[in-house]
Chain A
Amino acid sequence: MALRIVVIVGASMAGGRAAETLRAEGFDGRIVLVGAEPDRPYERPPLSKELLRGELPSERVFLRPAEFYAEQQIETRYGIRAIGLDPDARVVELESGERIGYDALLIATGASPRRLQVPGTELEGIYYLRTLRDAERLRAALQAASRVVVVGAGFIGAEVAASARQMGLEVVLLEALAAPLLRVLGADVGHYYAQFHREQGVDVRLNAPVAGFRGQGRVEAVVLGDDQEVPCDLAVVGVGVVPEVAWLAGSGVALDNGVLADEWCRTNRPGVYAAGDVANWWHPRLGERLRVEHYDNAQNQGVAAARSILGRGEPYAPVPFFWSDQYDLTLQYVGHASHWDTTCRRGRPEDRSFIIFYLHQGRIRAALGVNRFKDVSAARRLIEAGVVVEPERLADESVELRRLLPR
C-alpha cells in the first residue's frame, strides 16, 4: 500500500519526535498530529522541577517553536481527543466529529495519572501532575501554600517533594511501601533517598498508605490507614500512571498493559504502530516485554516507529535510560533489571556520588548512578556489550570501568 497519510495520535514526546522524523527522513505525504492536550509537544521532565519551582517559563519546555509544524507541513489538531479507531477502514475518529483516514497510524497517547480510590478525593486542593497545565496550576497552588502532603514517593512524588521543599514549604512525603522507589531500585537505594529527603527537612513517612482526605469543601488533612491525620493546605498525588487506551476499546488492537507492539513498533493490526508510554513492546535483546514510562524511550521509540513506518526501521532494542533530579542529586538509571541476584556499589552514598550495579547470572542488567556521570556512561556500554564481570571489580574504584569493556 502506498504511504500517503500518516496519522499520529498523541502530540507527545513520542508523537512529536515521530512527526519530525518522518519529515527529516524525506516523507512528503500528509502528516496529521492529534493531541488531547491544548499544547504542541513538550518535554515533561521540567514539570516537576524547574517549571514547578518557577525557574523556567512554560515557553522553554516545547520541543519545537510553534511555527515549526506549519513550516514542516505537519497538520495539527490540539485539544482534540481521538475517540475511536476502525482498523479495517483505516480511519481514526476524533471527538470533534472529524474522521481521518490513514495509511499508517502511530498510537502515542501515553498514560494518565492513576487516581486514588479513597473517600474525599472530590475535595478541592488535591492535585495530580502530568501535563503542562497541571504543572502551572500546581505551581500557583504551591506558591500560595505553606504545607503540602505528597502521596507516593515514586519519581514524580519525590521530585515534587524536593521542589516544594526548595520553594520553602513544609513537606510531608507519604509512601505506602517500606521505602521510596522500592520496586525499581531496591530497598537500599530507597533508604538512601528517604535519608536524602530527611536531610533536606522533608517529613518522610514509610509504610503509610492513604485511607482518605478530610476537609470542608477543601482538603485540610490526609487520613492515613491508622486513622492518623496529616494536616495540609494541599495534597499532591503521584501513585503511578495507567496507559491511555480507552479510545481503542473494540478496535481489535491487542491490549495488555498498554498497546502490544513488536520490536518494529507494529501492533497486531496492519499499518498501526505504537510508541512511548502507551507501548508494551517486545525487546528482542532482553527477551521480554517492556512498557517504559520515561522520556528517553518516548523520544527514541517515536523516532524508531517513524522509521519503521517508512520501511527503514531497525529492531528497537535500546539500553533503557532515565534520570531524576532531586535537590543537588542527579540520579541516572541505565538498563533494565526486573530481577537481579547480586548488587554491588562503587562510591559511597554519604559522599553523594555512587553507582550501584544490578547483576543477574554474572551479567550487568542495570546500573543506578547518583552524581556519577562518567561511570553511568561506562555502565551503559558494559550493559550493551553484555559483559560478564566480577562484582568486586565493579566495586573497586581503582579499576576504571571502561577498561572492563572488550577491546
Chain B
Amino acid sequence: MATGSGQEGFVDVAAAADVYDDEPYGVKVNGQRVVLCKVDGQLYAVGGLCSHQYAELDEGELRGCVLMCPLHNSGFDVRTGQAIQLPATQPIPTYAVRVENGRVLVSLHPVTPG
C-alpha cells in the first residue's frame, strides 16, 4: 500500500514498473482506498472497496478488465466502475490516471458512474 502527496489535482501513488498486468495494486488517494489495475498495458484506477459489503478489492483477482471481489465474487469493469457480476449491483468510483516519468499519478477526484 503506497501513499502519495499531491500536485495539481493528481497524486503520485506508485512506480509504474511496480504495477503488473492482472495484479491489482492497492494504494491510497486522499485517505481513500484505490486499486490500480493494468489491462493489456493500460492503467485504470477504481475505488478499493466493494459496493456490496465491506471488502478490500486489492485482495481480489483481475480477470481481463473485471476486478473480482475477494469475498463474494462480485465483479466490476475497471474501465467504467460498473458492477457486472452479482451480488454487487452498484458501481464503484473510477479515477483518472496517468503515467509521468515512470510514476503513476491518480486524480484526487473520483467519478462515480451513474
Q: Interface on A for B, CB 8 Å cutoff?
A: 17, 43, 63-64, 295-296, 299-300, 303, 321, 323, 330, 373-374, 376-378
The answer to whether A377 and B61 touch across the interface, beta carbons within 8 angstroms, is: yes
- A residues near B60, Cβ cutoff 8 Å: 373, 377
Query: Does B99 lie at the interface of the complex (its beta carbon under 8 Å from any beta carbon of A)?
Result: no
Q: How far is the CB of B21 from chain A (nearest CB, A)?
A: 12
- B residues near A377, Cβ cutoff 8 Å: 60-61, 68, 70
Query: Which of A300, A373, A374: most chain B CB closer than 10 A?
Result: A373
Contacts of B86-111 to chain A: CB distance below 8 A: 86-87, 89
Give the distance in Å from the alpha carbon of A63 to the alpha carbon of B88 in the complex.
10
Q: How far is the CB of A327 from chain B (nearest CB, A)?
A: 16
The answer to whether A321 and B73 touch across the interface, beta carbons within 8 angstroms, is: yes
State which size class the interface on B falls in. Answer: 10 to 19
The answer to whether A17 and B71 touch across the interface, beta carbons within 8 angstroms, is: no
The answer to whether A373 and B70 touch across the interface, beta carbons within 8 angstroms, is: yes
The answer to whether B86 and A330 touch across the interface, beta carbons within 8 angstroms, is: no
Q: How far is the CB of B55 from chain A (nearest CB, A)?
A: 9
Q: Look across to chain B and name the residue whose beta carbon is closest to the beta carbon of A296.
A: B73
- A residues near B59, Cβ cutoff 8 Å: 373-374
> Secondary structure of the B side of the interface?
loop
Given contacts A299-B86, A377-B60, 14 further A-B contacts (CB under 8 A): A17-B86, A43-B87, A63-B89, A296-B72, A296-B73, A299-B87, A303-B86, A321-B73, A323-B72, A330-B71, A373-B70, A377-B61, A377-B68, A377-B70
Give the distance in Å from the alpha carbon of A356 to the alpha carbon of B87 in the complex.
25
Contacts of B25-59 to chain A: CB distance below 8 A: 59
Give the distance in Å from the alpha carbon of A241 to the alpha carbon of B70 in the complex.
28
Q: How far is the CB of B61 from chain A (nearest CB, A)?
A: 4
- B residues near A373, Cβ cutoff 8 Å: 59-60, 70-71
Q: Look across to chain A and name the residue whose beta carbon is closest to the beta carbon of B59.
A: A373
- A residues near B70, Cβ cutoff 8 Å: 373-374, 376-377
Give the distance in Å from the alpha carbon of A43 to the alpha carbon of B73 in the complex.
15
Give the distance in Å from the alpha carbon of A321 to the alpha carbon of B86 in the complex.
13
- A residues near B86, Cβ cutoff 8 Å: 17, 299-300, 303
- A residues near B73, Cβ cutoff 8 Å: 296, 321
- A residues near B71, Cβ cutoff 8 Å: 323, 330, 373
Give the distance in Å from the alpha carbon of A377 to the alpha carbon of B89 in the complex.
21
Q: How far is the CB of B8 from chain A (nearest CB, A)?
A: 35
Q: Look across to chain B and name the residue whose beta carbon is closest to the beta carbon of A322.
A: B72
- A residues near B72, Cβ cutoff 8 Å: 295-296, 323
Give the distance in Å from the alpha carbon of A87 to the alpha carbon of B5 in the complex.
67
- B residues near A323, Cβ cutoff 8 Å: 71-72
Q: How far is the CB of B38 from chain A (nearest CB, A)?
A: 16
Q: Look across to chain A and name the residue whose beta carbon is closest to the beta carbon of B54.
A: A50
Give the distance in Å from the alpha carbon of A330 to the alpha carbon of B89 in the complex.
22
Give the distance in Å from the alpha carbon of A285 to the alpha carbon of B102 in the complex.
47
List 6 contacting pairs A-B, 8 Å CB cutoff, sorted by A.
Answer: A17-B86, A295-B87, A296-B72, A323-B72, A374-B59, A377-B68
Q: How far is the CB of B49 from chain A (nearest CB, A)?
A: 14
Give the distance in Å from the alpha carbon of A377 to the alpha carbon of B59 in the complex.
10
Give the distance in Å from the alpha carbon of A214 to the alpha carbon of B39 in the complex.
63
Give the distance in Å from the alpha carbon of A338 to the alpha carbon of B59 in the complex.
29
Give the distance in Å from the alpha carbon of A373 to the alpha carbon of B89 in the complex.
21
Give the distance in Å from the alpha carbon of A374 to the alpha carbon of B73 in the complex.
11
- B residues near A63, Cβ cutoff 8 Å: 89
Give the distance in Å from the alpha carbon of A374 to the alpha carbon of B22 in the complex.
12
Q: Look across to chain B and name the residue whose beta carbon is closest to the beta carbon of A319.
A: B73
Q: How far is the CB of A71 from chain B (nearest CB, A)?
A: 14
- B residues near A378, Cβ cutoff 8 Å: 61
Q: Look across to chain B and name the residue whose beta carbon is closest to the beta carbon of A21.
A: B86
- A residues near B68, Cβ cutoff 8 Å: 377
Give the distance in Å from the alpha carbon of A58 to the alpha carbon of B72 in the complex.
20
